Amino acid sequence: MENTAENKKIVLSAIQPTGTPTLGNYLGALKNWKKMSAENDCIYAVADLHSLTVRPEPQQLRRRTLDMYAILLALGLDPEKNIVFVQSHVPQHSQLAWILNCCTQFGEASRMTQFKDKSEKHPENVNVGLFTYPVLMAADILLYQADYVPIGEDQKQHLEITRDIAERFNTVYGETFKLPEPYIGKAGARVMSLQDPRQKMSKSDPNPKGFISMLDDDSVILKKIKSAVTDSEAKVRYAEGKDGINNLMAIYSCCTGKSYEETEKEFDGKGYGDFKAAVAEAVIEELRPFKEEFARLTADKAYLLECMTAGAEKAAHRAQRTLNKAMKKSGLFML
């Protein structure tokens, strides 16, 4: 199986261009991607093909794809040291997906909870792409012989079916794919909605006050945090039943590195107004370098396109080796 010269583990991460990630996405995962890239052989993809299942407006999808690519670079991911590419620029993903479709049972695909959930939410558009989405995701991972994949709780089932498909292919045709494992990195903060702290922060929240976008203006961040739900106790402490304050303390801790105990001492005798202002300032300072770098990158479209092209070439070179193996072993005639 494939290994780098440095014998680093291969880690595959993909993110859909469905809008700007939230503060929750950043503190929960993206913040650690730069460190992850220093310790592993990392491959990052903007998963634009997956976005087609919900039929986005074409011009908007193109803009969001470019923005998401810039976001990855603005996080500090060096395109010289990592492979950073756009999924649709590497046709081997779609080619392997068809081969893997033929190694996936209808029953196991129909049991995927994401398909059930999205079918219920969008009954007017239950397309085949939505059904085979996990197989394309399996192709994304298996093409690069990934050792690890960073996943959230809602993605566990997708990694399980990826392993099942790979194992079935290996059993039928011979050893071809690595069986990927979940990447367990440094635990990030689990950031909840500012308006309903029992729910995870999400950019699809119908209430825009519930989430902070990584590209929100400083004034918007301040306003959203000032309007965050708290409680009537007016005491900054981490405790059961204080979901709103617990959430703000988690955000403050992740941005400043201060423990909950240190935060409680810092705001002893002070009200929620002072605390919220401090949380807002910490978030603004945390996101400032990222936002400045994003602005610099998006002002240089030629550089972004140059990086995209180079990333696609590097990704395709790796992907083709695996695709050739899979095609040959499954009996496809090779020229």
Q: Is the dihedral of CA 73, 46, 185, 114 positive or negative?
A: positive
- The one-character DSSP state at 213 is B
Query: Which residues are part of the catalytic machinery?
Result: 118, 200, 203
Question: Sheet holding 41-46: strands in order across?
Answer: 83-86, 41-46, 10-15, 148-149, 181-182
- Cα–Cα dist 111/114, whole Å: 9
Instruction: Check residue 122 and give its pLDDT.
Output: 77
- pLDDT tens, residue order, the chain (335 aa): 444 446 899 999 999 998 899 999 999 889 989 889 988 999 999 999 999 988 999 999 999 999 999 999 999 999 999 999 999 999 999 999 999 999 999 989 888 887 877 777 778 888 888 899 999 999 999 999 999 999 876 678 889 999 999 999 999 999 999 999 998 766 667 899 999 999 999 998 999 999 999 999 999 999 999 999 999 999 999 999 999 999 999 999 999 999 999 999 999 999 999 999 999 999 999 999 999 999 999 999 999 999 999 999 999 999 999 999 999 999 999 98
Which position has the token pair 């002072």? 274
Instruction: Check residue 5 and give its pLDDT.
Output: 45
- Cα–Cα dist 211/203, whole Å: 6
Question: What is the tens place of the pLDDT at every residue in 158-205?
Answer: 899 999 999 999 999 999 999 999 987 666 678 999 999 999 999 989
- Full set of structural domains in the chain with CATH: 10-188+300-329 (3.40.50.620), 208-294 (1.10.240.10)
| Paired residues of 181 in beta bridges | 148
Strand 10-15 with 181-182, pairing: unpaired
Helix axes 128-142, 92-101, angle to 10 degrees: 110
Other Cβ atoms less than 10 A from the Cβ of 187: the count is: 8
Instruction: Check residue 2 and give its pLDDT.
Output: 44
Instruction: Check residue 187 and give its pLDDT.
Output: 60
Which position has the token pair 């492979």? 83
Q: Are 312 and 85 in contact (CB under 8 A)?
A: yes
Question: What is the tens place of the pLDDT at every residue in 115-136?
Answer: 877 777 778 888 888 899 999 9
Q: DSSP letters along 263-305, please?
A: HHHHTTT--HHHHHHHHHHHHHHHHHHHHHHHHHHHT-HHHHH
